Structure 1
Amino acid sequence: MAIKPTKAEKKQNYDAKLCQLIDEFTQILVVNADNVGSNQLQSIRSGLRGDSVVLMGKNTMMKRSVRIHAEKTGNKAFLNLIPLLVGNVGLIFTKGDLKEVSEEVAKYKVGAPARVGLVAPIDVVVPPGNTGLDPSQTSFFQVLNIPTKINKGTVEIITPVELIKKGDKVGSSEAALLSKLGIRPFSYGLVVLNVYDNGSVFSPEVLDLTDDDLVQKFAVGVSMVTSLSLAISYPTLAAAPHMFLNAYKNVLAVAVATEYSFPEADEVKEYLKDPSKFAVAAVAAPAAASAAAPAAAKEETKKEEPEEESDEDIGFGLFDE
C-alpha cells in the first residue's frame, strides 16, 4: 500500500516541480482560473500536451518558490513573475508559439448557469419569444418587470429585456428565471492575463499584433524621432532628408535675394521675373499628358487591327489568265 505524502512533502514536491519548470521553460502564460472546474482543466491539459505544461497552485506558495529560486540561482528576471501571481491564477509553461498556445487555451470554454451572488462577466439579455412555461409562472416575469402575454396556453416574452448588466451580482430571481428558461448565459475558461517571455512581461494583446501593425507603429516612432530631431536641430538618419531640403531652401532664398546664382536658382529667378510662366508650366504638363493618351491609344488600335485584303488583288488573281 502506497504511503500518502504528508503536507510538508507535498509542498517540497510542488516547489521542486515549479523550480524545474522555470529553469526549463523561458515562456510562461499567467492565466486566471476563476470558475474553471477540474474536468475542464483536464481537457485543457490534454489539448496542450506536447510542448506545454499547466501548473496550478496557491499564489502564496508560487511566490515563495519563485523568490527562493531566484535568490539561489541569482537570476533576478524570475522576480518579475511575483507581481503577476495575484488571485486565482495558474501558469502555463510552453515552448510553442505564444499566440497559438493562447488561442488553444481560449477554445476550452464551457457554458455555465447564472448562480446567485456571481458577478456577471457580460450583459445578459433575455430574447423575446415563447418560453414554454405555463401561465402560473408569470410571477417570475412580473418581479423582474418583463412584459409578457399568454399565447396558446404558455407565457410569451414580448420584447427583449436586459436582465443583468455586466459587473452586477446575480440575484435569486434572475438565477431562477434563467434556470427555468434553460439559459446558461456565462462561459468560463482559462483567461490569459499576462505573458512572461525570458524575463520580459507584457499584455496578451501584444500577441494579436500583425506585421502591418508593427510597421505602422514603427512609422509613427520614426515620425516622432524626425520631429524631435528637427525641433532641437540634432541630426539623425530620419531627419537628414528634411534637413538637407531646409538647407537647400535657405540657399535658394539667399540666391534669390542677392546676386549670387546657380542653375536651379536661375530658373526660380526667371519665374519670379515673369509669374505668367507659372501658369504656362502648370497647364502644359496636364495638356501634354492628355494629348499623349489618345495618340498612344490610336497607335495601339492600329497594331491590334489586322490589315484588310485589297479588292484589286482579288480581281487580278481571278482574271489574270
Structure 2
Amino acid sequence: MAPKPSKAEKKVAYDAKLCQLLEEYSQILIVAADNVGSTQLHNIRRGLRGDSIVLMGKNTMMKRSIRIHTEKTGNKAYLNLIPLLQGNVGLIFTKGDLKEVSEEVAKYKVLNIPTKINKGTVEIVTPVELINKGDKVGSSEAALLPKLGIRPFSYGLVVVSVYDNGSVFSPEVLDMTEDDLVEKFAAGVSIVTSLALAISYQTLAAAPHMFINAYKNVLAIVVATEYSFPQADKVKEYLKDPSKFAVAAAPAASESVAAPAAAKEEEKKDEPAEESDEDMGFSLFD
C-alpha cells in the first residue's frame, strides 16, 4: 500500500494543478460555496463535465499557487484573481460560454434545512419570534417554516465574480443582451457627440452635425446678403414668395388625404348593396 502524501507534497501537487489550469483556461468563474456539501459538489462537477473544471481549496493555497504561476510566466493579469479569493469560494475554469456555464451551476441547489414533523402537527404554546433576516435557520425554525407556508432558503454555488483574460467583472454582465449593449453604445456615442460639439472637436460621431450646423450658418449669411449658391437659391425663392412653398406642400398634403379616402372607397365597393323596397317591387306604404 502506497504511503499517503505529506502536506508538503500535497501543496506541490495543488500548485502544479492550479498552474496548469491557469495555463489552459482564460475564463474563470469565482463562486461562493457556503453550505455546499460534497454530494452536491460532485453533482455540479458531473453536470459541468466536458469544458469546465471545478477546483476548491483554501484561499491561502490558491493565492500561493497564483503568485507562483505569475512569477513563472510574468503575466501579472492573474494577480487580479487574488482580491476575489475572500470567504468560502472556489474556482470554475471553463472554455464554454460564461453565461451558459453560470446558468448550469445555478441548477444544482438543495435545501440545507433538516425537517421533522411530529405526527404532522405543530403546536405553538407561547409567542415566539421565529427568525430575523440574516439569522441561520435552525431545526426548530425549519420544522415551523413549511407549516407557515414560508419556503426555506436554497443553497448552491453562486457566481460572485468573473475573470476573463485578465479582466474582472460582476456576474450581472453575463445577463446583458445584444439590445442592452447596443443601447449603452448608442448612449455613449450620444455623450461623445455632445462633448465634441460643445468644444468644437472633430469626431466621426459629431461630423454630420457639424456639417449641418455649418450649412445652417452659411444659409443664414446667404439669406442676409446678396451672395448665393445653388442649394440656397430655392430657400431664397421661398422667402421672397411664400406662396411657392404652399404650392409645393399642397401635393404632399393631398396625397396623404387621398390615400385614406381611396381605402374607404374601396371598402364601400366590397360591401354588399342593400336592397331597397322599390327593388323588391313594392313599397312599405302600398
TM-score by length of 2: 0.82
Q: Which moved more, 1:291-300 or 1:7-16?
A: 291-300
* Structure 2 counterparts to residues 12-161 of structure 1, below 5 A: 12-113=12-113, 133=121, 137-139=123-125, 142-144=127-129
Q: What is the rounded CA distance, in whole Å, between the counterparts of 1:269 and 1:87 in structure 2?
A: 75
Q: What is the rounded CA distance, in whole Å, between the counterparts of 2:94 and 2:221 in structure 1?
A: 65
In the alignment, is the contact (CA less than 8 A) between 1:114 and 1:175 conserved in 2? yes
Query: What is the number of residues matched between the two proteins?
Result: 267
Superposition deviation, residue 226 in structure 1: 0.9
Which SS does the other structure have where 1:54 is aligned?
A: strand
Query: Which residue number corresponds to residue 270 of structure 1?
Result: 237
Query: Which residue number corresponds to residue 210 of structure 2?
Result: 243
Correspondence for 2:171 among 195, 201, 204:
204
Which SS does the other structure have where 2:125 is aligned?
A: helix
Q: 1:53 to 1:171 in 2, by over 3 A?
A: closer
Superposition deviation, residue 214 in structure 1: 1.3
Q: Give 5+ residue unaligned stretches, structure 2.
A: 271-286
Q: What's the CA shift string for 1:233-282, capped at 9, x where partnerless?
A: 11111111100000000000001111112234333233333456555655
Q: What is the rounded CA distance, in whole Å, between the counterparts of 1:164 and 1:220 in structure 2?
A: 45
In the alignment, is the contact (CA less than 8 A) between 2:113 and 2:138 conserved in 1? no
Q: 1:49 is matched by which residue type in structure 2?
A: R
Q: What's the CA shift string for 1:156-175, capped at 9, x where partnerless?
A: xxxxxxx6554355578645
Which SS does the other structure have where 1:138 is aligned?
A: coil
Q: Which moved more, 1:275-284 or 1:41-50?
A: 275-284
Q: 1:299 to 1:143 in 2, by over 3 A?
A: closer
Query: Which residue number corresponds to residue 283 of structure 2?
Result: none
Q: Give 5+ residue unaligned stretches, structure 1.
A: 116-130, 145-162, 305-321
Query: Which residue number corresponds to residue 121 of structure 1?
Result: none
RMSD: 3.1
Which SS does the other structure have where 1:139 is aligned?
A: coil
Is 1:260 aligned to residue 227 of structure 2?
yes
Q: 2:227 is matched by which residue type in structure 1?
A: Y
Q: 1:44 is matched by which residue type in structure 2?
A: I
Q: What is the rounded CA distance, in whole Å, between the counterparts of 1:101 and 1:229 in structure 2?
A: 41
Q: What is the rounded CA distance, in whole Å, between the counterparts of 1:286 and 1:194 in structure 2?
A: 59
Q: What is the rounded CA distance, in whole Å, between the counterparts of 1:46 and 1:199 in structure 2?
A: 27
Query: Which residue number corresponds to residue 318 of structure 1?
Result: none
In the alignment, is the contact (CA less than 8 A) between 1:114 and 1:185 conserved in 2? no
Superposition deviation, residue 179 in structure 1: 6.9
In the alignment, is the contact (CA less than 8 A) between 1:52 and 1:96 conserved in 2? yes
Superposition deviation, residue 138 in structure 1: 2.8
Query: Which residue number corresponds to residue 152 of structure 1?
Result: none
Q: 1:284 to 1:19 in 2, by over 3 A?
A: same
Q: What is the rounded CA distance, in whole Å, between the counterparts of 2:238 and 2:94 in structure 1?
A: 69
Percent identity over the alignment? 77
Q: Which moved more, 1:67-76 or 1:163-172?
A: 163-172
Superposition deviation, residue 297 in structure 1: 8.2
Superposition deviation, residue 176 in structure 1: 5.3
Query: Which residue number corresponds to residue 198 of structure 2?
Result: 231
TM-score by length of 1: 0.74
Superposition deviation, residue 295 in structure 1: 5.3
Q: What is the rounded CA distance, in whole Å, between the counterparts of 1:210 and 1:143 in structure 2?
A: 47
Q: What's the CA shift string for 1:86-110, capped at 9, x where partnerless?
A: 1100000111111111110010011
In the alignment, is the contact (CA less than 8 A) between 1:114 and 1:186 conserved in 2? no
Q: What is the rounded CA distance, in whole Å, between the counterparts of 1:260 and 1:166 in structure 2?
A: 78
Query: Which residue number corresponds to residue 220 of structure 1?
Result: 187
Q: What's the CA shift string for 1:185-228, capped at 9, x where partnerless?
A: 11010001111111111111111111111111111111111111
Q: 1:164 to 1:114 in 2, by over 3 A?
A: farther
Q: Per residue, is there more strand in 1 or in 2?
A: 1
Q: 2:88 is matched by which residue type in structure 1?
A: N
